[in-house]
Amino acid sequence: MLIDLYVRHSNAFIVCVNQEDDFETAELILRKIQKECDFRPLAVVVVSTKCDLSGDGLSGTKGRAVRLAQQYICDWMTCSAKTGEDVVEVFEQATRMAMLRILDGAPQMPQRRKHRKQQSHTKCNMM
């Protein structure tokens, strides 16, 4: 799968959700990140998109996105591509988190295996 290659060589991930159907894919991606990147310093941001829209269904989606971010120990943000609200901030946050984790060597996702050596990285790749 192409996603495997991206996951193995990235330090920052932005996972966007805006409707109920997106959560299954988002969880698949977050599990893949967790599995492939055990001891690497990572930055993961779950983003609720279309924050310019209002309504009861959207607030439920935001709540689910917050719970997803908490479950996988990620940051959570909102943005709107239509209005441009917080789009730059999402990328700045992911980059800032990745660079801090690379410099500190602190892993983002919970570790599952202890036998891999921690690697040091000097560059930041974003998926």
- pLDDT tens, residue by residue, 74-102: 899 999 999 999 999 999 999 998 888 77
Instruction: Indicate whether 111 pLDDT > 50.
Output: no
What CATH class is the domain 2-104?
alpha beta
pLDDT attached to residue 77: 94
Task: Give the whole-angstrom CA distance, residue 69 versus residue 67.
Answer: 5
The angle, 0 to 180 degrees and rounded to 10, between the axes of the packed helices 22-36 and 56-71 is 10
Output helix, strand, coil percentages for the chain, rounded to the nearest 5. 45, 15, 45
pLDDT class of 17 with cuts at 50, 70, 90:
very high
Q: What is the pTM of this model?
A: 0.73
The pLDDT of 31-56, averaged and rounded, is 79
pLDDT attached to residue 116: 47
Q: Are 11 and 98 contacting, i.e. CB atoms less than 8 angstroms apart?
A: yes
